Amino acid sequence: MARCQSADTCLSAFLEKKSSVNTAFDRMDEQKLKCGYGELGVCCRLCSNGPCRVTPDSPKGVCGATADAMVARGLLRAVAAGSACYLHVVESTARRLKAIATGESPVRLRAEGALDELARQLGVSGGSVLEKAGNVADAVLADLYRPRHEAMTLVKRMALPKRAQTWEKLGLLPGGAKSEVFDALVKTSTNLNTDPVDQLLHCLRLGICTGLYGLNLTNLMNDVIMGEPEIRVARTGFSVVDPDYVNIGVIGHSHSVFAGLIQYLETPAGQQLGLVKGAKGIRLIGLTCVGQDMQLRAAGSGGAVFAGQAGNNFTQEALIATGAIDLVITEFNCTLSGMEPIAASMKTKLVCLDDVCKQTSSELIPDRYGHELELGQRLATLAADQYAARRGGVTIDIPVHGYADVVTGVSEKSLVKLLGGSLEPVIALVKNGTIKGIAGILGCSNLAAGGHDMTTVALTRELIKRDILVLSAGCTTGGLCNTGFCSPAAKEWAGPGLRAVCEQLGIPPVLNFGPCLAIGRIEIVVNLLAEAMGLDIPQLPVVISAPQWLEEQALADGCFGLALGLTLHLAQPPQILGSPVVTKVLTQDLEQLTGGKVLVELDPVKAANALEAVIMAKRAALGLEVPA
């Protein structure tokens, strides 16, 4: 049986050694036969008359639904699910901020300055720090809980004014975010809405909810609770793991869930739990987005207990197979169920803190506001006990893996600080053609688009070679860090203009913004560029790509990018090609409305050619110098 390969050759070599361990890299081959109807989106199983499949000989379902109706309905339902996931995270973050503000929670706020800035942006005041924090949380929650007929009040405060005007003109300003999700599910049920255009517009509204609330507001509230990112150098890869410590792997998206555990582990009492078991202490090992968020903020939050980021979503099974992880804590998605038998064989305990990610063999210990330090102590105790119980009976095999000089901590603020207080240096470099433009390489990793991180790495290499600066957020970043693109030496892979910029600033050609949530931070950078240049977002020489998108959340992210007016590249299309209407709207017609469009291309060289062409067309329209 063929094993899926990774752009991270060290990871592939390690998996070859572990041939008895079944991971997603093995299961990919087992699932290589795909349903053609499902790929096109023309299979409907909403009612007992089905499942119905649309074909040229059978162009309608039993109810009369066409391919256009089926495909649009399936896309909207997927986007609603993805948006709901992000809204769950922002809701839980706002509720924690509220609990801190009322004194219910013992978690301390780490960045009062960030709170002041966020309060000003949202038009919120308060007589004290805690009152202000409570009012910010109330404003966010009020918008999430509004009925759909009431527009959310914070959208216009957060969006670029020109974008908000476009959204208002097109009827895209969303009502209460959770109501938008609720009605999307209603709209896509049996024998209801069959208008593909109406459903696509609803996708865009959900994209705005996702981006401004699920991404941006989660980031900004986490800045207040967990501390702001600062640029620094860090380690990534499996080599961050030291087997002499009690090692806790963390998986998920919601950084503030770990506030109590981090705060407890920073105390002598927290580390003593590991010391008395014969370990050097207790450390956290990052996996998926929550680890990248910890890495992003480790200069000011948890740096003494966070060992580093091991990898992205599809590296977690291999990391557990090293035998060096004593406890895995999950709190949200990107939790592969395939880890369960591996964890059992390695005597690694699984705990989840939210029932949305409950696995069969994991212990559910609910995260409760006000009990964060108690939870931290309980988790640390479980990990230390597991260390004592399993070490000596399990073979530990940690490969030499990753990089020790990854530049991390990049955010909209730390980037501006690095540039001397404004984005003018970047704007000047774009205007004179030293940097042709900017590409966001965003979102997930998958195994389908050429192999693990294969297309992401190949496309990124092509873009930087063409003097296009890459900003990365999501599991793409995990892959790019572990293949060297976020280390300074990667400048040698860049074109002459971008290489010179890297040498001058001491940065790599790929800027590591961290987790999927930081897609919102990149949007803020784009907003700042547009404001500084007096432009709307679609006019900028900026493109985005989710080359190896994986799940419904990625589709919601993509809808945010399309609402912003950006060209969005995907290596693989969503399940839409069965509908001529949906395909045409997303790849052509939408550009006349929001300015955004979808570009699908699997070949990384052809994709880079297409994205470069978009950037060059934007430059020409602005009258900027056209580099040779």
pLDDT tens track for 476-499: 999 999 999 999 999 999 999 999
Asked if 600 and 567 count as a contact pair (C-beta separation under 8 A), the reply is no
Residues of 175-212 as b/e, b for ≥16 C-beta within 10 angstroms? bbbbbbbebbeebbeeeebbebeebbbbbbbbbbbbbb
Asked if 277 and 388 count as a contact pair (C-beta separation under 8 A), the reply is yes
* pLDDT at 517 (0 to 100): 96
SS3 at position 471: strand
Quick one: CA dihedral 191, 197, 199, 200, positive or negative?
positive
Q: What is the mean pLDDT of residues 356-379?
A: 96
pLDDT confidence tier of residue 333, bands split at 50, 70 and 90: confident
Q: What is the mean pLDDT of residues 490-518?
A: 97
CB within 8 Å of 601: residues ≥ 6 apart = 569, 571, 607, 610
SS3 at position 180: helix
Shared fold status for 238-390 and 407-622: yes
pLDDT of residue 382 exceeding 70: yes
For helices 218-226 and 112-122, give the axis angle rounded to 10 degrees. 150
Give residue-wise pLDDT tens across range 205-253.
999 999 999 999 999 999 999 999 999 999 999 999 999 999 999 999 9
DSSP state of 349: E
Q: How far apart are CA 478 and CA 315, in angstroms?
A: 9
The whole-chain average pLDDT of the chain stands at 96
pLDDT confidence tier of residue 301, bands split at 50, 70 and 90: confident
Q: Tokens in use for 472? A: 């990365």
Pick the CATH number of 67-226 from 3.40.50.720, 3.40.50.1000, 3.40.50.300, 1.20.1270.30: 1.20.1270.30
State the pairing for strand pair 403-408/232-236.
antiparallel
Q: How far apart are CA 190 and CA 47, in angstroms?
A: 7
SS3 at position 307: strand
Asked if 257 and 368 count as a contact pair (C-beta separation under 8 A), the reply is no
* pLDDT at 19 (0 to 100): 87
* pLDDT at 1 (0 to 100): 61
pLDDT confidence tier of residue 314, bands split at 50, 70 and 90: very high
pLDDT of residue 140 exceeding 80: yes
Lay out the sheet containing 468-474: strands in order across: 510-512, 468-474, 437-443, 542-545, 567-570, 597-600
User: Where do the DSSP E strands lie in 210-296?
Assistant: 232-236, 246-251, 282-287
Helix (H) or strand (E) holding 184: helix 177-187
pLDDT confidence tier of residue 96, bands split at 50, 70 and 90: very high
The whole-angstrom distance between residue 99's C-alpha and the CA centroid of its chain comes to 26
Q: How many CA atoms lie within 13 A of 318 on its CB side?
A: 28
Q: Tokens in use for 457? A: 């790495």
Q: How far apart are CA 624 and CA 428, in angstroms?
A: 11
Please, where are the H alpha helices in 325-453? 339-346, 372-390, 412-418, 424-431
- Where are the domains positioned within the chain? 67-226, 238-390, 407-622
Asked if 382 and 364 count as a contact pair (C-beta separation under 8 A), the reply is no
pLDDT of residue 28 exceeding 80: yes
Strand partners, 439: 470, 543
* pLDDT at 625 (0 to 100): 80
C-alpha distance from residue 600 to each of 568, 570, 603 (Å): 8, 5, 9
Q: Tokens in use for 402? A: 């990753």
Which one-letter amino acid corresponds to residue 626? V
Nearest-CA neighbor of 275 among 286, 283, 263? 283
Asked if 570 and 546 count as a contact pair (C-beta separation under 8 A), the reply is yes
Asked if 488 and 502 count as a contact pair (C-beta separation under 8 A), the reply is yes
pLDDT of residue 392 exceeding 90: no
Q: How far apart are CA 555 and CA 106, in angstroms?
A: 36
Please, where are the H alpha helices in 420-551? 424-431, 454-465, 475-481, 496-505, 519-533
SS3 at position 324: coil
How many other C-beta atoms can be found within 10 angstroms of the C-beta atom of residue 539?
16
Give residue-wise pLDDT tens across range 571-625.
999 999 999 999 999 999 999 999 999 999 999 999 999 999 999 999 999 999 8
How many other C-beta atoms can be found within 10 angstroms of the C-beta atom of residue 356?
17
SS3 at position 346: helix
Asked if 246 and 279 count as a contact pair (C-beta separation under 8 A), the reply is yes
What is the biggest distance separating any 2 CA atoms in the chain, rounded to whole angstroms?
72
Cis peptide before 573 (omega within 30 of 0): no
Q: CA-based angle 474:245:512, to the nearest 5?
A: 20
DSSP state of 213: I
Nearest-CA neighbor of 554 among 221, 313, 251, 246? 313
Nearest-CA neighbor of 101 among 143, 129, 78, 141? 129
pLDDT of residue 377 exceeding 90: yes
pLDDT of residue 528 exceeding 90: yes
End-to-end CA distance of the chain: 47
Percent of the chain with pLDDT over 70: 100
What number does CATH give the domain 407-622?
3.40.50.2030
Q: Tokens in use for 193? A: 């809405």
Pick the CATH number of 238-390 from 3.40.50.2030, 2.70.98.70, 3.40.50.2000, 1.10.3720.10: 3.40.50.2030
Q: Tokens in use for 534? A: 């007096």
CB within 8 Å of 102: residues ≥ 6 apart = 130, 134
Using the structure block, give the residue that is written with the tokens 């999501």: 474
SS3 at position 127: coil
* pLDDT at 504 (0 to 100): 94
pLDDT confidence tier of residue 628, bands split at 50, 70 and 90: low
Q: What is the mean pLDDT of residues 133-159?
A: 98
Using the structure block, give the residue that is written with the tokens 């809405």: 193
Q: How far apart are CA 534 and CA 465, in angstroms?
A: 29
Give residue-wise pLDDT tens across range 40-72.
999 999 999 989 999 999 999 999 999 999 999
